[in-house]
Amino acid sequence: MLSAEKQIERSIKTKPRGTLLFPEDFSSYGSSDAVRKALDRLEDKHVLVRVAHGIYVRPKESKLIGTVLPTVEEVADAIAKRDRIRTVPSGSYALNALGLSTQIPMKIVLLTDGSPREIKVGRRSIKFKKVAPKNLLAKGKVSRLVIQALKELGNGYVSHHDEEKIIECLRTEDVAALKHDIGLAPVWIQKIMSKALQDVT
């Protein structure tokens, strides 16, 4: 019978490069302690790379730059899927995602209905900030970003250029999702978002 390490290594090598892995993915191969020890050894053998505490990846390889690790955003998405939690990007992260800021935040803040925590990924970090479920009801990928980005800018501090950019982004959103999400926003944000519905049938 193959050891836990060999079974885990074989399983890892069947997955596409770039796949994020968690110890729980290999719970059928042994105890949590045995799995963690096996992952440590496989890390030493360069089968995988640890990107954060308890989070690993089968890295992609580039001829130009060598090992390519997942982005902090990809790590955040993988954690949300694993934990079956909802998340909404907020603050400077939302501004950057919409192209309203060129500054890449060292800490990305995600509103969530899951456990509050902070995870370091290299020099950056992911903060999961627990909020009331009503703050996570937005359906549209773009419109939920817009609501958080506008809250970060603040009422009265949205430039004409930023407003035009936001409206342009919102016009790519599903109309039904946009209409739903407008109803969740503060009144001053509703006025800006509603402009994206003009000329839309």
* Rg of the chain over all Cα atoms, to the nearest angstrom: 21
* Prediction pTM value: 0.83
**Predicted local distance difference test score (pLDDT) of residue 65:** 83
- To the nearest 10°, report the CA torsion of 156, 157, 162, 163: -10
Q: 87 Cβ partners below 8 Å, 6+ apart?
A: 76, 80, 110, 111, 112, 114, 128, 136
**Predicted local distance difference test score (pLDDT) of residue 1:** 67
Task: Region of 98 please: left (phi>0), alpha (psi -120 to 50) or beta.
Answer: alpha
Whether residue 201 has pLDDT greater than 70: no
**128 in Cβ contact with 87 (< 8 Å):** yes
Q: How long a stretch of residues is the chain?
A: 201
Q: 62-116, pLDDT tens digit by residue?
A: 888 888 889 999 999 999 999 999 999 999 999 999 999 988 899 999 999 999 9
Q: What is the mean pLDDT of residues 13-38?
A: 93
**Predicted local distance difference test score (pLDDT) of residue 199:** 62
Q: 133-189, pLDDT tens digit by residue?
A: 888 999 999 999 999 999 999 999 999 999 999 999 999 999 999 999 999 999 999
